[in-house]
Structures are given as C-alpha cells and as structure tokens.
Structure 1
C-alpha cells in the first residue's frame, strides 16, 4: 500500500476507485466496504484507494468534539495496509476543506487531484459542507464529472450494522471479547512502563504500570482483564486491572497496571503492548488486603486457564 499524505496540483495517481471515511478501528464493516472498493476497481481495471484523515474532521473544526479513538493514525495505517488496498490517501483536513460542497469536493479534490473514476459511498456516509446532500446528489454530480458513484452494501453482524460507535460502547462496557468480534481482532493499547506505588510487589503480585502512548485512545471500562502482553520482543500472559484500586484507597486516580504471569524481569521505561482478550470481573473493594490477595490468586488461575501458560 502506498501512502499519499499531500494533495497534488494535477492528477498524479493512476485512475482509481475510492471510499472516504475516518475508518476508526478499521472494523469488519470498514473491511467489507474496502472489499467492495477493491472489487469495483478490479472490474474496471483501475487502482483501489481509501481517503482518510490523520485527525477527525470534527476535532479539527474545534467544535468541542472529544472522540476517544480506537486506533492511532499509525495503527489505522497498518490495519488498512493489511486489507490489500493500493493507496491510502491521507491529507490534512482543514477549515477550508470543510467549506467545500459535496460537488466541489468531488470536482476539486477527488477528480482533479486524485484521479477518482469510481466513488463508493458507505451506506450511512455523508460528506460536503454541513453534510446536507444525499446519495442522489452524489450520483448526479458523478454523472456530470464522468465519475461513477456506487452505494455500498451494509455489513451486519448479529443482525446489527457494525459501527465504530458500537465498538466504543462495547469497550467502555468492558465487553472486549464482543468488541473483538466486530473489530476482527483484539483491541489493544500501547504505552510505556512507568513507576507506580509498588503495592502489587509487596503483596506478591508485581505489576507494570502503563502510561498509554496516545492520550486520546479509548481505555476499556474498569475491571480485571485477561490479556496478552508483548514486551522486549516476547509475548506473555497477563491479568490487567483498570480502575481506582478502591481496596488500597487510590482516590480518583485511574490506573492501568498489568501483572505478567511467571515473569520477574525489570521492564521500567520499556515500551509495552497490551491485547485484550476477556474481562474476568469488575473492579471490587475488599474488606482486607488478605481478601484482595485471595481474589488475585483466583484471577490468575482463571487467566491461566483461559489463555494458558507462556
């Protein structure tokens, strides 16, 4: 996949079929749309492309829109590359671009700069100033420009249309296993191991406290999770807690910490990658440290039973 980050003054891409969107998470619905783009491109003997943006357009416009993203820009690019699309076009979204009508965007950007010959519209997608125009309008503009416009089929799973907002809702509810069904992969976080209070070490369950790399990345709901851990080139089984650790009076601070099973090495300041598999339980306040330790032993056994030893 070739990445195009800036627009051209004259068409420099080969003729292509394209779909437009933010593609947060590159979930199963996105992949279904991309496969339709690839199919249309193959039938026409042209290239396939995606147009997306490094930052969500509504955030660029300063509307107070605070989106918790499923994928960082780099993660999104990697997932898009795995789809086999030919081009990932990623211009910066600007206030000037937001003022373009759908027809102006199609004529001045898609047709004039990116050599788009076929435009595939997601079943629920709208673009152009105020997103006020419909598929019929896009189709008419395409006829005027010599650009074919197609309405994509929707992707459904368990009788529901898959969307990024649906995945966010599942993750915030701790349903990481269900979210994986919609994403097509396990949700993950990347960060750095930082100093913590070292309480876990004192009770026999040392933890790596994690500072997430991108502060805009969505953090799943509070609870204890079975996870896969990648650190220093190796993969391990872990149990991870997200929350405020009420038993030790952690206050309002929300921490992310992982106990890596059968692991003793010092990994402070190491990069770490967490892949969520399943939530084991919600976060609880115990009456004593002894009760907490007993529960952590049960949690470790359950995680090991679920994921196995590594």
Structure 2
C-alpha cells in the first residue's frame, strides 16, 4: 500500500475505485466498505483508494476536541488498511479552510482532478463538503457530469453490522475489551515505548515494562489489570498489564505497566505493542504490598489460563 501525504501530487492510480472517511478503528463496518471497493477494483482491473482526513475533523471543528480519543493512530490505521489489501491511502490535511470547501470543490479537486476516479463507494449516511451538503443523492444525480459511477453501501448492510466508532470507544473506556474485539474483528491494541520506571514491581517479584504512549490522543482502556500480549523486538509474549495510579504504593501518576511472562531482557527505549485480550479486574487499593503481591500471583495465574484459552 502507498500512503500519499496530500492529494496534490497524485499520479498513476489505475482505474481508481475510491471511498472516503476517517475510518477510526477500521471496524468491521469499515471493512465491509474496503472489501467492496477491492471487489469492484478487481472487476475493472483497477486500484483502490481511501481518502481520509488528518487530523480528525473533530479536533479542528469540535467544541471540546481534547475530550475525543481515537481508536487508532494514523500509523495504526494505515497498517490495518494495508493488511486488508488497500492499494492507496490518501491523507488530506484537514484544516478550517478545507472545512469550508463546498461538496463541488471537494469532488472536482480531489475525486476527479487528483484521483481520476472511475467509481466512488460511500456509506448510506456519508455527508461531505461545507455544512455536510454533499451526499449520495447529489452524487447520483450528477454522476454523468462527473464522469464516474457512484455506489452507496446500503442502510441495511450498515445497520446489520450495527457498529460505530463511538460504540467501540465506549466499550474500551469501560474496559470491555472483549466487546471491542467483537466490533473491531480483532483485539484492541496500543503502541508505545518502554521507559524507565520506579522499579516497585521488581520488589514485589513482578518486574514491569513501563510504557509511554506518545500519541496523547490515543484511547487507553479503563484503569485495571488485563491479560495481554506484548510484542517487542518482533517477538510476542504472554503478559499481564496494569493501567492506573497504583494506590497501594501511593502512586500519583497514571502508569501503564506490563509484566512479561518468562522474560528477563532489558528493553528500555524499545517499541512495544500491547494487545488486550481480557480485563482481569479493576484497580484495587490493598492494605499492604504483601497483599498486592499475592493478588498479582493470582492475576498471573488467571492471565495464563485466559491466554492459553484465547491464543493458539
């Protein structure tokens, strides 16, 4: 897959079959659309393209943009789309000026002039252009003038999937990562870098990798303990992870800490991917470090059982 930073210098997309959207999370509803444009591209010996927007439009136009957390960073989204078989990802810089484009400007400048689109596929309720004026009916009525065919993913198809990025965000914020898995069609993930911690976990017999998630807009699951997979240096390990303030040791800063099973290497400054399988429990304040250590032993036993059941 080729990632295009902007639409201004696009060239060489053969018989482009195109869709549009932010596609945060690339959930199974989005996957329906990607699958459809791939099938259409095969039928016309063409290539697929998704026109997406960065930053997320709500960060530019929303009343409380800092409250919006995203299911995928741009790089995570790109990786998922590549795995799905998309040919071209076109990243359009979303600005207030761009938000004032009419639907006609958007179609003429990007869909026609930049992409030379042969077929455009959109969701049944997709709107675009200033004040969301553009939609399927406008495209259908003007398809001959525009010179491309247009197809709408039906309301029935979308409703049968019954998914939205908002629903998935709600599940992740509640720590219901299994529910999020059902909506996404894959396990929820975060990516970060291993940084130095205060070594408290080691004194309890559970050395941890402290994880810094650099993209502050990335949605982190609810505080608590989780059974997870940890991928570092291209190897994946069973692990358990805690998110929270560690009230038993008077933690004042929120931490993300992973205990990798059967692992003793130094991995400071290494990139790490955490894949959430199931929540073990909420974060709890224990009466002593000894009680906490006992609970961590139980958590590990529970995590091993869960991971052995879910991961082959």
Distance 1:47 1:270 in 2: 36
Task: Assess if the C-alpha contact under 8 Å between 1:229 and 1:238 holds in 2.
Answer: yes
- SS of the aligned residue for 1:136 comes to helix
Aligned residue number for residue 23 of structure 2? 23
Equivalences for 1:86-125 in 2 at 5 Å?
A: 86-125=87-126
CA gap of 1:115–1:11, structure 2 versus 1, over 3 A, is farther
Distance 1:141 1:97 in 2: 22
Task: Assess if the C-alpha contact under 8 Å between 1:103 and 1:141 holds in 2.
Answer: no
Q: How many aligned positions are there?
A: 308
Offset of 1:298 from its aligned partner? 0.7
Task: Assess if the C-alpha contact under 8 Å between 1:37 and 1:120 holds in 2.
Answer: yes
Aligned residue number for residue 213 of structure 1? 214
Aligned residue number for residue 70 of structure 2? 69
Task: Assess if the C-alpha contact under 8 Å between 1:12 and 1:113 holds in 2.
Answer: no
Aligned residue number for residue 297 of structure 1? 297
Task: Assess if the C-alpha contact under 8 Å between 2:121 and 2:151 holds in 1.
Answer: yes
Offset of 1:64 from its aligned partner? 4.2
Offset of 1:289 from its aligned partner? 2.0
Offset of 1:281 from its aligned partner? 0.8
Larger displacement relative to structure 2 (292-301 or 230-239):
230-239
CA gap of 1:104–1:3, structure 2 versus 1, over 3 A, is same
- SS of the aligned residue for 1:167 comes to helix
CA gap of 1:281–1:156, structure 2 versus 1, over 3 A, is farther
Offset of 1:24 from its aligned partner? 1.2
Structure 2 gap segments, 5+ residues each: none
Task: Assess if the C-alpha contact under 8 Å between 2:29 and 2:161 holds in 1.
Answer: no
1:129 aligned onto 2:135: no
Offset of 1:12 from its aligned partner? 4.7
Distance 2:9 2:287 in 1: 68
Distance 1:58 1:80 in 2: 22
Task: Assess if the C-alpha contact under 8 Å between 1:11 and 1:115 holds in 2.
Answer: no
Task: Assess if the C-alpha contact under 8 Å between 1:193 and 1:270 holds in 2.
Answer: yes
Offset of 1:127 from its aligned partner? 0.7
Aligned residue number for residue 82 of structure 2? 81
Larger displacement relative to structure 2 (170-179 or 88-97):
88-97
Aligned residue number for residue 233 of structure 2? 232
Distance 1:270 1:38 in 2: 36
Aligned residue number for residue 42 of structure 1? 42
1:263 aligned onto 2:293: no
Larger displacement relative to structure 2 (53-62 or 185-194):
53-62
Task: Map Cα deviations across residues 74-102 of structure 1 (whole Å, 9 max, x no partner).
Answer: 11111111121222222322333211111
1:172 aligned onto 2:173: yes
Equivalences for 1:236-255 in 2 at 5 Å?
A: 236-251=237-252, 253-255=253-255
Distance 2:12 2:233 in 1: 41
Task: Assess if the C-alpha contact under 8 Å between 1:11 and 1:112 holds in 2.
Answer: no
Larger displacement relative to structure 2 (209-218 or 83-92):
83-92
CA gap of 1:150–1:240, structure 2 versus 1, over 3 A, is same
Distance 2:221 2:161 in 1: 21
Offset of 1:153 from its aligned partner? 3.0
Task: Assess if the C-alpha contact under 8 Å between 2:232 and 2:272 holds in 1.
Answer: yes
Structure 1 gap segments, 5+ residues each: none
Larger displacement relative to structure 2 (117-126 or 219-228):
117-126
CA gap of 1:11–1:145, structure 2 versus 1, over 3 A, is farther
Offset of 1:61 from its aligned partner? 4.5
Which runs of 4 or more aligned residues in structure 1 lie more than 4 Å from their structure 2 counterparts after TM superposition? 9-12, 61-64, 154-157
